[in-house]
Structure formats: structure tokens, C-alpha cells
Amino acid sequence: MSLVKKFATVGGATLGSRIFGFARETLMAAALGTGPMADVFYAAFRFPNLFRRLFAEGAFNAAFVPLFAKEIEANGTDGAKRFSEEVFGVLFSVLLLITIVMELAMPLLVRFVIAPGFADDPEKFSITIRMAAVMFPYLMCMSLTAMMSGMLNSLHHFFAAAIAPVFLNVVMIGALFYALYTGADPLATAWYLSFGVLAAGVLQLAVVYVGVLAAGMSIGFRFPKMTPNVKRLLILAVPAAVTGGITQINQLIGQAIASSRDGAIAALQYADRIYQLPLGVVGVAVGVVLLPELARALKGGHLREAGNLQNRSIEFVLFLTIPAAFALWILSDEIIRVLYERGAFHQENTAVVGSILAIYGIGLPAFVLIKALQPGFYAREDTKTPMRFSAIAVATNCATALTLFPYMGAPGIAVAEATAGWISTMLLFTTLLRRGHLTWEWALAKRTVLLIVAAAVMGGAIVFLKQHFAPALASGAPLLTKIGTLGLLIAIAMLVYFAAAFLIGGADLGMIRRNLNRKPVAAKDAQN
């Protein structure tokens, strides 16, 4: 299967998850708006979500996958199974200890980390503690899910791992439908959602476990033991956990700062859900597929193939995210109005959330490029360098957010996150280039400039069409009219972008055909 086809497999499953996520957020906006219970739920959910990124996705996609790939190459399936069981025993024990400690320390965590601004409101403070305690075991389920997902990705079984997140959205949508159907108040709705998160974690773990069994592997529990392989994993995983969770760390900092102003946390979350669509579909797909591919190419000594994989991934990212950034910037208010403006979500909310989304659009290419650049370090078992860059990005984000929030409110936090993302991207890119792990291609640089030009042409077309479609996109227009008009506007924008990109040379059919038909390293070796 070619690199682009693998991206499409993971991206397609992720797209399904993001569509369900949109449905979830739309129902959330209708049920809770940007009111106090929305702030409480999102604040409580952010913490287990942060740890999921730190100890699950970030650590295991960065550290576990290269070592698992090495075991497959060196000792076959039996060696990989033994390594997985060793890791499972240690991971389960550590997660159980972390969960117990965090549950006991939850009041302190909410007061000083999760939402310091809630400390002056006893009711919000108390509810946040209890909801965070209910949802925190989700971390344990998702960390084990991430480990098994890493196994599946290394075995080139991408679909089960990519489709598992859909079940979180499905369960939460069910909880919201039940709340709206029964006329539940905001507090009861938030509790339904909290228990739904916990149930979804168990369901996702079951899905990937079935996927591992279907891939011909099984995992038995071994008594925790610090074997050389486990020690090597921990050495790689600790810095990778910090790096992999950089976006979540920055968002947690933003949340802590935003907690001092009513509605700010929910506004950031609603905008975050929109830009997570291209970030998830493109960024997650590239990160998930590229890491095991790079690791295997490097372990087999195929340095030229590794360099080509890296560059083609960057090309793929830029081709899709540059126009998405322009579209989010220009259509931010219209997107928010169509998706959220109903029920408890008013025009004033649209203006705030729309401004945040526009700023996130500027940072989108950087957020996705990070996913394409980090595997260049992780596949070489270097997790410390990206961690140092993450520390710089976090410091930048914190300083910028603290400076801008008093003047700009929630949009100032979005500016801080976008700035931190671009700084991290530039550090990763220049370091790979300087080390010779990334090959500079003038053809790729030229195509990037031309893609920006094509996206600018598209942007001009959107601005022109917006003026003519304004009545159909106004707040008072029927919902179906707004949805149809926005869909038509996006479809026309896509046609303009692709036509311009191909006409001026930003993309060509030969390039796409080569990527679609490119065979992986193992297949090439088998033919030689």
C-alpha cells in the first residue's frame, strides 16, 4: 500500500471521528452554550485528555513504535509479542498508581493546575473536582489503547486504531440526545457526559484489543519487570511524552489563564473542535503512518527512502493545510454561525469563537507540520531534541498568553498557541535540515510558494462570493439554507484552489501518481 493510500486509510477513519465530533459539539453548544457548566465540563475533561496525550499517544507513538518495529525485524512476531507483554505489565502498574494518586490529589490539581479561576466559586470548584475524578480513569483505558494502537500501526493494520476514537463521540452524542430528550438541566447534562467519557474509554480499549487479536497477536499479563527493552522505552518515552503532548500542554496553560473569565474556556473548546478537523485528518494520519514507515526504512539502512518519505509527507501536508488555513481565516464567522448558533449559543458567542478560529487557522499548517517533522527524530530514537523545542514553545505560549489575555481575552490565548506552534515547527525543520536528516528540495520550495499563491486566489474568490451569499448566511436565515450555502461556498473554493494549483504548477498529476503508486521498502526489497 502506498504512503498516500495509508494516509487516506487513517485520515478517512479520523474524518469519521471528527464528523461525529462536530455533531457532539453542535449538541453541546445547543445544550450548554458557553455557560458555567460548559466551562466546568471542559475544564474537568481537559486534564485526563492532557495525560492521555502525554502518557499515551505522545509517548507510545514516539517510543514504542520504533522499538516494536525493531523487535519485529530482529526477532519476528514472537519477540514483538514478548516485548509487548513486558511493556503491558509495567504500563498497567504505573497507570494504576498514577490514577490513585491523581484521584486523591484532585482538589489540589483543580485549584492550582486545571482551573485556578474556579477557586473563588465554591460550586464550580466542587463540581469540577468530582467530574474530573469520574473521568480520570479514562486515562488508563486510553493509554492501554494507545499501546495496542502502536502495535497495530507497526503491523500495518491502521483502521481499527484510527476508528476507535469514533466511539467516544458516539457515546457522548447518545448522552446529549438523552439529556435533550428528557429536558435535563445543564448540571445533569454535564454528569451524563462525564460518565459517558468513562464508558467510552472502556469501549475503545475493547475495539483495539479485538483488532490486535485479528492481526494475529495476543497480549498476556506479565509481572512488572524492568527488562533492558522496558528501560530503553522509558528513556525514550519520558521526553516523548512531553513533546507529544505539546499542543495539549499549551491548551491547558491557556485554559488555566482563561478560567478567570466566564465563557472563555468553552469558547476556546468550540473553536478547537473546528480546526481539529484538518489537524486530525491530515496531521494524525501523517504522524501515525510516517513513524513506522521511517523506522523500518532506517533500520533497513534505506536512507534515501527515509528522506523521500519525509519530504513527500511535508508536501502532502502543505498541499492540504495551506488552503485550509486561508479558508478558516476568511470563513471563521460563517462556519461558527452554521455549526453552533442555536439554542444557548448566541450571535455574541459567534463573534468571539469566530475570532479564535481565524487565529487557529493561521497556526494550522504549523500544528500539522509538527506531526510530519517529529517522526524524523523519533524514528532515530531521539526524543530529547523535540522535548527541548517543546519547552521553548511552552515558555513562549505561557508568556504570550499572560501578556495578551488581559487585553484580547480568549483570542489572545489562540495567538499564543499559534505563535508557539510556528516556533516549534521552525526549530524542528532547521534541526533536521542541519543534521542532514532532511533533504532540501528546491522543487518542493517552489511548489510551496505556488500553493500559497493558489490559496490566495481561492481566498479572493471566497471574499467575492461571501458578499453575494451574505443574506443566505446571515443569522436569521433558515438552517438548511445556511448549511447548503456554506457547503456550496466551500465546494467552489476547493475547485478554485485545485484548478489554480494545477495551472500554475503548485501540483501536478505526475507527482500525485508517483505517490499513489509508490511501493514501500519491504515490497521493493522483495522484488530485488
Residue range 177-228, pLDDT digits in tens: 898 888 888 899 999 999 999 999 999 999 999 988 888 887 877 788 888 8
- The predicted pLDDT at position 13 comes to 61
The ranges assigned to domains in the chain are 3-521
Is residue 474 over pLDDT 50? yes
- The predicted pLDDT at position 188 comes to 92
Lowest mean pLDDT among 69-73, 175-179, 207-211, 322-326: 69-73
Q: Which of 51-55, 228-232, 286-290, 414-418 has the largest mean confidence?
A: 414-418
User: Would you tell me the crossing angle of helices 410-435 and 384-408 to the nearest 10 degrees?
Assistant: 160
Is residue 509 over pLDDT 50? yes
Is residue 100 over pLDDT 90? yes
Transcribe 89-156 into DSSP letters: HHHHHHHHHHHHHHHHTHHHHIIIII-GGGGG-HHHHHHHHHHHHHHTTHHHHHHHHHHHHHHHHHTT
Q: Which of 81-95, 264-278, 456-470, 512-526 has the largest mean confidence?
A: 456-470
User: Residues 6 or more apart from 190 whose CB is under 8 A from it?
Assistant: 32, 37, 38, 40, 41, 127, 131
pLDDT tens track for 102-146? 899 999 988 887 778 888 888 889 999 999 999 999 988 888 888
pLDDT tens track for 354-363? 999 999 999 9
Is residue 516 over pLDDT 50? no
Is residue 326 over pLDDT 90? yes
Q: Residue 152 — very low, low, confident or very high, per pLDDT cuts 50/70/90?
A: confident
Q: Residue 60 — very low, low, confident or very high, per pLDDT cuts 50/70/90?
A: low
**CB 281, CB 14: distance < 8 Å:** yes
Per the listing, cell 502525554 goes with 54
Q: Residue 526 — very low, low, confident or very high, per pLDDT cuts 50/70/90?
A: very low
Which stretches of 302-441 are DSSP H helices? 303-340, 347-373, 375-378, 384-408, 410-435
For residues 332 and 63, which has the higher predicted lDDT (pLDDT)? 332
- The predicted pLDDT at position 520 comes to 45
At 220, give phi and psi (nearest 5°): -105, 155
User: Would you tell me the crossing angle of helices 410-435 and 347-373 to the nearest 10 degrees?
Assistant: 10
Is residue 425 over pLDDT 80? yes
- The predicted pLDDT at position 11 comes to 58
Q: Give the Å distances, CA to CA, from 314 to 62, 235, 404, 455.
A: 18, 28, 32, 17
Cell output for 36:
458555567
- The predicted pLDDT at position 57 comes to 53
- The predicted pLDDT at position 497 comes to 94
Residue type, 265: I
Is residue 247 over pLDDT 70? no
Residue type, 325: A
Is residue 259 over pLDDT 80? no
pLDDT (average), residues 399-410 = 89
pLDDT tens track for 476-505? 888 888 889 999 999 999 999 999 998 988
Is residue 525 over pLDDT 50? no
Is residue 337 over pLDDT 60? yes
Q: Residue 522 — very low, low, confident or very high, per pLDDT cuts 50/70/90?
A: very low
Lowest mean pLDDT among 11-20, 35-44, 77-86, 416-425: 11-20
For the beta carbon of residue 464, count every other beta carbon within 10 angstroms: 10
- The predicted pLDDT at position 521 comes to 43
**CB 434, CB 476: distance < 8 Å:** no
pLDDT tens track for 363-381? 999 988 888 888 888 778 7
Is residue 274 over pLDDT 70? yes
- The predicted pLDDT at position 241 comes to 64
- The predicted pLDDT at position 214 comes to 86
Q: Mean pLDDT score of the chain, rounded to an integer? A: 81
> What pTM was computed for the model?
0.68
- Cα–Cα–Cα angle for 413, 418, 420, rounded to 5 degrees: 95
